[in-house]
Amino acid sequence: MDKHTDHAHLGLWTYLMSDCVLFASLFAAYAVLYTATAGGPAPADIFHPRFVLAETLILLTSSFASGLAVVFAGRQHRLGTWVALLATFALGATFLGLELHEFSGLVAQGYGWQRSAFLSSFFTLVGTHGLHIFTGLLWLGALFLYMAVRGLTPQAVRRIGYFSLFWHFLDIIWIFIFTIVYLIPLL
C-alpha–C-alpha distance, residues 90 and 87, integer Å: 5
Q: What's the confidence (pLDDT) of residue 187? A: 80
Inter-residue contact 164 to 69 (CB < 8 Å): yes
For the chain, what are the domain ranges? 49-186
pLDDT in tens, 159-177: 999 999 999 999 999 999 9
C-alpha–C-alpha distance, residues 91 and 57, integer Å: 10
Which residues of the chain fall below pLDDT 70?
Answer: 1-5
Q: Options 3.90.1150.10, 3.40.50.410, 1.10.760.10, 1.20.120.80; which CATH number does 49-186 get?
A: 1.20.120.80
